[in-house]
Structure 1
Amino acid sequence: MSLDRRAFIKAALALGGLSLGRAWAWESSEEETGRLLVIFLRGGLDGLFAFSPVADPQFASLRPSLSRTVLDRGIPLGDSGFVAHPACTPLADLYRSGELAFAPCAGTIDTSRSHFQAQDIFELGNGLSRGTSGFMSRAASELGGEPGAISFTGEVPLAFQGPTMPDVAQLDTGRFQLPSGRLLEAVRRAHAGELTGTALEQAIATEAAIAAALAEGGMEPSSDRGAATVSGFVKVAQDMGRVLRRTPRFNLAFVDVGGFDTHANQEAVLSRALTTLSTGIVTLRRELGDIEWRRTRVLVCSEFGRTVRENGTGGTDHGHGGLLLLAGGSVKGGRMLGSFHGLDKAHLNEGRDLPVHLDWRDALASSMRDCFLLPDAALDRILPNRPRHLEI
Structure 2
Amino acid sequence: MSDPTRAPELTARAAALDAADPLAAVRDRFVLDDATVYLDGNSLGALPAEVLPRLADVVTREWGELRIRSWEESGWWTAPERIGDRIAPLVGAAPGQVVVGDSTSVNVFKALVAAVRMAPPGRTEILVDAATFPTDGYIAAAAARLTGHTVRPVPAAEVGAAAGPATAAALVNHVDYRTGRLHDMGGTTAALHAAGALAVWDLCHSAGALPVALDADGVDLAVGCTYKYLNGGPGSPAYLYVRRELQPRFDSPLPGWNSHADPFGMAPGYQPAEGAVRGRVGTPEILSLLALEAALDVWDGVTTEDVRAKSLALTDFFLDCTAALLPAGRAEFVTPAPHAERGSQVSLRCAGAAEVMRELTARGVVGDFRPPDILRFGFTPLYTRYADALRAARILADVTEGTA
TM-score (norm 1): 0.31
- Rg (Cα) greater in structure: 2
- Larger RCO: 1 or 2 (CA < 8 Å, sep 6+): 1
